[in-house]
Structure 1
Amino acid sequence: MSQNYIAYHFTVAPLQPGSEILIAQLGYAGFESFTETDNGLTAYIQKAAWKEGILDDIQILSSEEFKISYTREEIEQVNWNAEWEKNFEAIEVEGKCVVRAPFHPEFGVDYEIVIEPKMSFGTGHHETTFMMLQFILENEFNDKTVLDMGCGTAVLAILAKMRGADKVDAIDIDPWCYENSLENTMRNGCDSISVMLGDATVIPEKKYDTVIANINRNILLNDLPIYGESMMDGGELYLSGFYSEDLPIITNACNKLGFSFVEKKEKNNWIAAKFVN
């Protein structure tokens, strides 16, 4: 279905975590889809839901920590399905896993994940998601209990389930991601995955063998103690969403909670790291 949309083109500095914070705040204001650019992002809202002053409550715009500017335009008849078919390419990881859209042909690999992205983060295109998929392929998940924090499209939770995980919980603070995760888990025959809307405060009171968190540095640092309390002894913690220069800070925070650094992956200055307690 085509709709008339209002598009805001934002320039954000520093790009991260500025863009992630901006997306979260815009989501609460009613913006329903986003595309990242080299220097910021474009946010879309249906014209019928738009109003004057819609950005007045977007707190990051008045923050002294970030420099953000924007322009606005009306876009007629945006057909998101057509846009995705034009721009979304399948992602292959280690020759074992493919993340593709429904309109792509089957690849015949061990793990084929079909994602209808709908502008949610986590299609495999971003370096952090790609590296986390690599970690899940390389490590043992059979019969484990797994928590996927900041699940986005739930692609990591889905692969963990396909790799033999017993119980998998997936949590995201973005309502759009929550709905998208529900759709994607069902589409891939993983509807036993429990998808929840919220932040770390909604983590169930149980112990996990494995926690996966692909978010950003500040949220990770804030929520690490909660992850630690939610993990079994000998559990594995996989973290991503931060840059190489942030690894010492992340590692130090993990060490204070009893986690030891095991290994890291790096791609275009982004880091994914494995820790054990």
Structure 2
Amino acid sequence: MTNYIGYIFKVAPKEPATEILIAQLGEVGFESFVENEDGVTAYIQENDWNSEILKEIQILNSEEFKFTFEEEVIEQTNWNSEWEKNFNQIQVDNLVSIRAPFHKNPNLKYDIVIEPKMSFGTGHHETTHMMIQHLLALDLANKNTLDMGCGTGILAIFAEMKGAKPIDAIDIDTWCYENSLENVARNNCKHISVFEGDASLLMNKKYDVIIANINRNILLNDMVLYMDCLNDDGIILFSGFYEEDIPIIDAEVSKYGLTLDKIIERNNWVSLKYIK
């Protein structure tokens, strides 16, 4: 049975260094991240690990931030009990619950059941919460929708519950792709297609609504592709970054003539709604 290597990073100041660290660790094979008040714990399968792996992480050489870390080997058999201890149910505006199968159903209007596995717990509950708030306010009936960087598939699943169809859910991470497939089936969704890959999959696609809950640098890098596939009068929702990043995102989106319609903020995380 595969073991995992865990790196417990302490980061000062925490942001934006932690966000950059997570992105760079993901590029070399780390597949799960649990943020805490001091930094982040990152996990990689022992088979994918090597003793030189951190030499590829550029942010660790930055003079702007201080990093310390400890390393530990974690047996895979411990994961289920760890997630049950650490994964908390999310409720949004007393209308939407996002929970694991072991949580009691609170009987809200919308109930999303997600199996918490390796990639859950990235510290982005705030962004998920805000994206759900945006989607709650939208008429999604028969809207062709994209969930880019779908993770566990939460937002695609909720979009279908709100009437969106068809829906594409895309993630570059193999685990996220496989887990999204599981969660789509678990929530009896019929109109979601899940794909493994990056923004190159958007070529020749068109959407009425785009949901992109990804980190700032990836959003900026792929912006032209999002804009090319957004229909006239379409809506795009961004999250995965901080309040101080708004001017950078807005300057890029404004190049394409979109209008910033709504900002939601939660614990310094933000989510932006644009209309084409």
Considering the TM-score relative to the shorter chain, is it more than 0.5?
A: yes
- Ranges in structure 1 where 5+ consecutive residues have no aligned partner: none
2-structure distance, mates of 1:244, 1:230: 26
Per the alignment, residue 133 of structure 1 pairs with: 132
Per the alignment, residue 88 of structure 1 pairs with: 87
Per the alignment, residue 213 of structure 1 pairs with: 212
Q: Which amino acid in 2 is paired with 1:168?
A: I
Please report how far the alpha carbon of residue 274 of structure 1 lies from its aligned counterpart in structure 2 after TM superposition. Answer: 0.8
2-structure distance, mates of 1:217, 1:28: 15
TM-score by length of 1: 0.89
Q: Which amino acid in 2 is paired with 1:11?
A: K
- Ranges in structure 2 where 5+ consecutive residues have no aligned partner: none
2-structure distance, mates of 1:35, 1:86: 13
1-structure distance, mates of 2:252, 2:26: 30
Per the alignment, residue 102 of structure 2 pairs with: 103
1-structure distance, mates of 2:212, 2:21: 19
TM-score by length of 2: 0.89
Query: Are 1:235 and 2:234 counterparts?
Result: yes
1-structure distance, mates of 2:14, 2:172: 20
Give the aligned CA root-mean-square deviation in angstroms. 2.5
Is the Cα contact below 8 Å between 1:5 and 1:77 reproduced in 2? yes
2-structure distance, mates of 1:17, 1:124: 13
Query: Are 1:176 and 2:175 counterparts?
Result: yes
Is the Cα contact below 8 Å between 2:33 and 2:121 reproduced in 1? no
Query: 5 Å matches for 1:61-80?
Result: 61-62=60-61, 67-76=66-75, 78-80=77-79
Aligned residues: 276
The structure-2 alpha-carbon separation of the partners of 1:16 and 1:180, relative to structure 1 and needing over 3 Å to count, comes to: farther
Q: Which amino acid in 1 is paired with 2:72?
A: E
The structure-2 alpha-carbon separation of the partners of 1:31 and 1:228, relative to structure 1 and needing over 3 Å to count, comes to: closer
The structure-2 alpha-carbon separation of the partners of 1:105 and 1:71, relative to structure 1 and needing over 3 Å to count, comes to: same
Q: Which amino acid in 2 is paired with 1:217?
A: R
Query: Are 1:53 and 2:52 counterparts?
Result: yes
1-structure distance, mates of 2:154, 2:188: 12
Per the alignment, residue 251 of structure 1 pairs with: 250
2-structure distance, mates of 1:13, 1:121: 24
Deviates more, 1:81-90 or 1:37-46: 37-46
1-structure distance, mates of 2:50, 2:249: 41
SS of residue in 2 equivalent to 1:116 = coil
